[in-house]
Structure 1
């Protein structure tokens, strides 16, 4: 028997008090009368029972869970948190997006390899633990961006220049290796001062917004002063983004793409997908649309 929309109990895993988490919880509450924002750091899994509890409530009793945010910053701990939610699925709770798919994305290495295997155009990339190979990679690229395997909004990224002295470059690489244990190098491409986020809900293209650089940073992230604006990607770019996100079974995501002199390149498929860019760049309430999608999916699968 299909439940009435008002009887569905859908929790939102996110950061309590943060805008994107709260607007999604608001949208769910408006349609179901139920509200639960789940701070994953306070969740306890009892594997032998089995049950997973949050503030006295067993999450196995929910109809669905939406993972909006799992941490303020990316780190390997995210995978452990997602594993707990993967266990919740054992109870029969449908989770949006599937934890195992998000795990494939929060690790930059896994995301990049999946995109490369699908022949998605990306900046030239070198992945290695070898110091000499990393050094030679910087020299061949001219300018390279050294990226942590776990990061968001360009945090922890460094720009390396082949014109620096060998001593300086090797010192930068060595210092980075001591912190990260792996080199992920991408050629720094000449960008037009903006990139785009193409939005997908249930695998279907919804629109695109741009992140426009403030001119004071090499990247376009809002964290570095960039601004959101409307974007009108070509059919070719939409097709690339569609193929990129289709490598992962995601309920909601954004695909980051930029136009370069060598053609469009994909930087990443987002593990979670943001709402603010769509809201400010396109004037679209994606939280409400996402809530409606989740409710419709649960009703039709009941």
Structure 2
């Protein structure tokens, strides 16, 4: 069976994790197919949706895989580019391709605000959090929380996260964020000892876990 791996063409220049996925597909007796989200041709006509792929000047080829793994959509340099790549991946699903993970939940999972809203709505415990573009809102939140963590909305591995306990110091961070058109994401700092657990849950069942330990306050680096 052919299984697609969805990613942008630019990933060909840094293919480590994509190569791992392709090798895993081969080990299971299947054939990986490269699907470049930025090289797709989405054709929309009355009652019909077709997807072809043209790499550079190459001839278009119909995409007919039964399933695909969505690795990532690349680096977005424009909001319309982001929209195109999201809906191009969604178009694969609309043509009957089983995409794992589905693109809209994938987008939400990669966004701290969207993911936290879904967790809170499911009545799961989450850190007290304030999100805004108003730096005075952030200032008051740090004063309320005492010790707070300022994060990027789409950061990972602890990079770019600040631990602050002074609203005036935090205000300088918020001023910088506002000047580069970034939202302000502030969470109450939770004491957790020398480490924490990360548990992977699929379908309500824990399928894996790890205990992460670090000398500093960041344990996910």
TM-score range, shorter chain: 0.7 to 0.9
Cα distance change of structure 1 residues 11 and 30 upon mapping to structure 2, 3 Å threshold: same
Paired residue total = 209
Paired position in structure 2 for 1:170: 171
Q: 1:179-190 to 2 correspondence within 5 Å?
A: 179-190=180-191
Q: Which runs of 5+ in 2 are unaligned?
A: none
1:13 and 2:6 equivalent? yes
Paired position in structure 1 for 2:23: 26
Cα distance change of structure 1 residues 71 and 173 upon mapping to structure 2, 3 Å threshold: same
Q: C-alpha offsets along residues 83-104 of structure 1, whole Å, 9 cap, x if unaligned?
A: 2110111211111111121122
Per the normalisation by structure 2, the TM-score is: 0.80
Cα distance change of structure 1 residues 43 and 86 upon mapping to structure 2, 3 Å threshold: same
Q: 1:61-140 to 2 correspondence within 5 Å?
A: 61-71=64-74, 80-140=84-144
Counterparts of 2:77 and 2:210, CA distance in 1 = 23
Cα distance change of structure 1 residues 169 and 34 upon mapping to structure 2, 3 Å threshold: closer
Q: C-alpha offsets along residues 31-50 of structure 1, whole Å, 9 cap, x if unaligned?
A: 23412233434434334563
Counterparts of 1:57 and 1:203, CA distance in 2 = 39
Correspondence for 2:159 among 149, 155, 159? 155
The answer on whether the counterparts of 1:145 and 1:186 sit within 8 Å (CA) in structure 2 is yes
Q: Which runs of 5+ in 1 are unaligned?
A: 1-7, 223-302
The answer on whether the counterparts of 1:194 and 1:211 sit within 8 Å (CA) in structure 2 is yes
Per the normalisation by structure 1, the TM-score is: 0.61
RMSD: 2.7
Q: Which has the higher strand share?
A: 2
Cα distance change of structure 1 residues 42 and 98 upon mapping to structure 2, 3 Å threshold: same
Cα distance change of structure 1 residues 79 and 120 upon mapping to structure 2, 3 Å threshold: farther
Counterparts of 2:15 and 2:204, CA distance in 1 = 26
